[in-house]
Structures are given as structure tokens and as C-alpha cells.
Amino acid sequence: MEEKKLKIVFFGTPEFAVASLDRLVADGCDIAAVVTMPDKIAGRGHKTIESDVKKYAVEKGLKVLQPEKLKNPEFVDELRAIGADLFIVIAFRMLPEVVWTMPPLGTFNLHASLLPKYRGAAPINWAVINGDTETGVTTFFLKHEIDTGDIIEQKKIEILPSDNVGNVHDKLMELGAEMVSHTVKEIADGKVTPIPQPEGEFIPAPKIFKDTCHIDWAQPCLKIHNFVRGLSPYPAAWTSLLDSRFPEETSDVKIYETIPAPDTDGYGLNPGDLKLTKNRMFVKTADGMLEILSLQPAGKKRMDASAFLRGYCPERFV
């Protein structure tokens, strides 16, 4: 008996979504259309910036839709005319009800956390920032409230002490692609029995902005270390540097790697004060010292602490 092939419309924008779309294409799924964000014009050269999903879809010859507004009647009519069985949403905008209720088999989302623990736009970052030792991916059917729909599947991974958000992102991207593939097959075979999300409190995982990434050196050492991990390599935690050569000025510095240094003496120092050796750099926190392993001064490339100390005379972070 031939396996049923569903007609699918895929909604997504960044690299995280590309892995799942690629897996569906490799599975031989009927991707009737790909919906992604409109192109942007950016930079001094006014270059056109296309989403990662669009680049992949064009390369594979897939139909691409880029609506400015998801409630636009022309877009809704075009979507309806496709006659898809199933919609899949990964790292995309919130869909209006007129869209997500359209396909007869529903609309499911891949979320990069173990729902209902984290809800919001940046669950991977916040899991690492909060020092979690595990995370995972969830597929669930969309409903009115964001990230609250009935769960189809979940898979867990360990967050290692050496992981940053970039490592965890890549692990979840591959795990998510595998689970999206399996979820589609289960839906096609009529084997899905979704379960409601457990009641109770959840942790907000809001979008990350520049102000979110500013380091507060008056926080405990481990909390700052996890904060740096949860924002590295992108968008990166940052602080302001006071350089003894320019006492009236400060400049922003991105911090990429740190490690708690409990055996380093910080007696008499205040949070943000630095203790330097020839090749190493330590900063005082609320309850100890944190070693800075790699960082990026404004306008320069990322470098290790020893290279930084050869070109700068850091006094303290503020």
C-alpha cells in the first residue's frame, strides 16, 4: 500500500527552520509552498537581504510566498487555493486564526524547548542563561494563545557545561528536523494523539534586544558566566570598558567566553574591577572572580584575552 503524501505549506525564516525544510524535501514530501518574511534592504549599499529559508527554497525550486501582512485577503486566497493538508511553522511570525485553521489536518509548530517550560521567541538563549542542564524540542498544534497548543512529540538533550547557545542551537536544529519528519509521518498515518500541555507556571523567553545583553557585574559569578554562554556567539553579552589611556571615555566590548576562577584573589575589588596578569584577565563579580577568555572590542575582531591585553590598557568594566 502506497504511503499517503500530504500537501504541505511550510512557514519559516532563519537557519533553524532550513534544517527541517531540507529534511522534508529529502523525505520526498510535497512542499506546495514556502512562506517566509519579505526581503529587507539593509546597509550602505542598500543590498537586498533574503531569509535563509527563501534562499534554500529558491535553490530547490520551491514556490515562495512573502506576504507583508498575513491577513491580506490576496495572500489568504492564494494560500487557500493551494489546498494544503497540513501547515508547518518553524521560527516564524504569529499566524492569524484565518491562516492556522485553514488546513484540514491542522497547523503544527516546532518549538525549541520542552513546552510548557519556556514560551516566547528566544527559548534556547534563556535555557542556557538560566543554567538549565537539559532542554529539547516540541511539536504541537497551534491554538489561540502562543505556544500553548496540544503537544504531539518531545525530545530532550543535555546542555553541557561547555555549551554555549550556538552549540545548543545547532543540536536542537538537527534534533528538531528529525522530529518534524517523524511528526509528519505520524500525522499522515493517523497515529497522532496530542496531549494538552500541563497546567502551571512557565518561564517567559522573550526576544533578545541589545539592552538585554548588558552584563551586570554585581550579579553572582556563575549567573554572569551562564549569561555570557546564553548569548554567545550571537548576539553576545556586552559591557562598557574604561581604558586607562582614555579616562574620560568608555567603549563597548562584547564578551564571548568566561570561566569562574574561585581560586583567584579579588580582595579589595568592587564588581567590574579588573585584575590582570601578563596574559590573563579577571573581573570581580558579586561573589568571586570570573576569567575573561575571549572578547571583541568595538570595531575590532574577536580575540583572546592575551591578544586584547597587548593592545589595550583596561582598568575596569562598567
pLDDT in the model for residue 1 = 39
Compute CA distances 37 → 22, 54, 115, whole Å.
18, 8, 25
Q: Which residues contact 238 (CB under 8 A, 6 or more apart)?
A: 210, 213, 214, 215, 252, 253, 254, 255
302 touches 294 (CB < 8 A)? yes
Here the cell at position 26 is 529529502
pLDDT in the model for residue 232 = 98
pLDDT in the model for residue 146 = 83
pLDDT in the model for residue 21 = 98
Which uninterrupted H or E stretch holds 165? helix 165-188
pLDDT tens-digit readout, 71-118? 999 999 999 999 999 999 999 999 999 999 999 999 999 999 999 999
pLDDT tens-digit readout, 159-183? 999 999 999 999 999 999 999 999 9
Best CA proximity match to 302, nearest among 293, 312, 310? 293
Q: Which residues contact 35 (CB under 8 A, 6 or more apart)?
A: 9, 10, 11, 12, 64, 65, 66, 67, 79, 92
pLDDT in the model for residue 3 = 58
As a whole number of Å, the CA-based R_g of the chain is 23
Cα 318 to Cα 220: distance, rounded to the nearest angstrom: 16
Q: Which residues of the chain, if any, have pLDDT below 70?
A: 1-4
